Amino acid sequence: MAQPPAPLFRDPIYDGAYHMVVGYVSGVRHDWSGPRHILHYTSADLYHWQVRGPVISDRPHEGPNVFAWRGSIWMITDTWRGLGVYRSDDAEHWEQQDNILAAGGKRRDDGVMGNHADVLVAGDRAYSSISRTPAGPGSRARTAIPCRTTNAVHPCRLLNSKSAMANWCVTATSHLTLSLDPSNKRLHMQTGNCSPQSEAYILKLRESPAFGASGFDFAGLREGMAARREPVDTSVSCTRADIDGIPGAWVFAQGADLDIRMLYLHGGGFVSGSSEFYLALAGRISTAARCAVLLPDYRLAPENPFPDGLEDCIRAYGWLRAMGPHGPARARATFIAGDSAGGGLTLATLFALRDRGHQLPLAAIALSPFADLTLTGESIRSEGQLDPIMHPGCLPDFVKRYVADADVHHPLVSPVFGDYSGIPPLLIQAGEHEIIRDDSVRVAAKARADGAEVELEIWPGMFHVFQSHEPLLPEGVQAIEHIASFMRSCMAE
């Protein structure tokens, strides 16, 4: 088989970047003969991709999709017979590990040139896709179904498993269309079709200006996010709680294990939001994860600027460990989660608990965390016209009201600058089209660099905290199930 050139592997096995290898056929004739071009891309943020180096196979319809994992180099080759998996320690000597989708290659008459496996690797986790190339001379369009491993211990078991795809699952309902722009040598990841419900909902959202587009309506924001939103499932219980002097609410579904508890920190830009507004989302999480969810009404800015709200969150977590929905009872497992400003507070609470020597939760979940109050993320500019929820103009107002005289670079204010060593596993979810998307990407990169376990999910086509919008979109259902699955996997370890 064709050997990939050594320069492709001169970098360390994991250099802090994301890697993806994409191939296409050029000079295509009717019989699909022609050179197979393989381009190796790297990215620091999953959105801006640059070519690192080309590989051209000397065998038609066959080319390497290469990635590094756990000290070895792995290659998946695309042939008429299917997909072959090879492993190497030096990029020169390759040993075949397995055949995947042995019957996957189809003739042109079947409408598909073949199946391709594209691989993206971040740290010690591998992400792959099975893609299809429409038949027809000159066709380069390819649709890829994003997948990831569900086995946290052996994320690449696909590569030596007889069951092939058994350990992989589709991570999003939409497809990605991959196309090469030769003018700037970047790979553009364009969303294909979201679910029809999401497409219609997003169009409706965009009929109204995003918050902040026509001024900062502070009073309107507070009023809106104080509204009570009942759980969709009327059997879910919602009871008021006195959390060591902090008002709040317990939410738990029928059959939930009340000794498995989540502290959920609501969003609202640090200046608005309430437990009442988050009853519906808490009910969804409780039902999916079979846990009790505690919603504290932490103090809000500007009346109570940093660090007052954070101190409430820290105190609420200590209370949750000892108190359940029905009174004193030690928790068997605890989690901290939050969205937007609450996502930032989730990360800051972890830092504070660790630094003060307190027991940490099993894991934490941050949904679209507002984690960089210096407002330097590129997505603030790139998604400014695409985010249907927040306009970039609102962000400085949130920061000014919350930070007051504090240092905006302080890790408890902007967790993107924090030290994640010793922090428990993190699941971070964000939408593709939100102005603070890069806060999630940068937090994940920093946490990985500091040795923390991180799962980052950027949902194609989605918007800020899409998991909370009712009626729940199909992507929201899947995202919440991912949260529940993540919690179960953390308890199983």
Residues acting as catalytic residues: 340, 434, 464
Question: H or E stretch including 51?
Answer: strand 49-57
Q: What is the CA radius of gyration of the chain?
A: 24
Task: Extract the tokens encoding 167.
Answer: 């350990």
What's at 99, amino acid-wise?
N
B/e letters for 72-111, b = 16+ CB within 10 Å, e = fewer, are: ebbbbbbbeebbbbbbbeebeebeebbbbbeebbeeeeee
C-beta neighbour count of 138 within 10 angstroms: 9
Q: Are 83 and 119 in contact (CB under 8 A)?
A: no
- The residue among 485, 492, 491 whose CA lies nearest residue 261 is 491
Rounded CA-CA distance 19/33 in Å is: 28
Neighbours of 70 (CB within 10 A): 12
Contact 267, 342 (CB under 8 A): yes
Look at the block and give the residue holding tokens 């998307």: 437
* Amino acid identity, position 475: E
> Given CA atoms 435, 437, 440, 445 in this order, what sign does their dihedral have?
negative
Distance CA 413, CA 286 (A): 29
Give dist(CA 51, CA 22) in Å, integer.
Answer: 10
Q: How many Å apart are CA 138 and CA 79, to the nearest integer?
A: 19
What are the E-state strand segments in 298-349? 323-324, 327-328, 333-339
Tell the residue number behind the tokens 């969804």, with chain if given: 284
Tell me phi and psi for residue 463, to 5 degrees.
-125, -175
- β-pairing verdict for 64-69 and 49-57: unpaired
Backbone angles phi, psi at 282, to 5 degrees: -60, -40
Q: Which two tokens stand for residue 285?
A: 């999480």
> What SS3 class is residue 445?
helix
Q: What is the DSSP string of 294-311?
A: EEE----TTTS-TTHHHH
Residue identified by tokens 């609470």 is 349
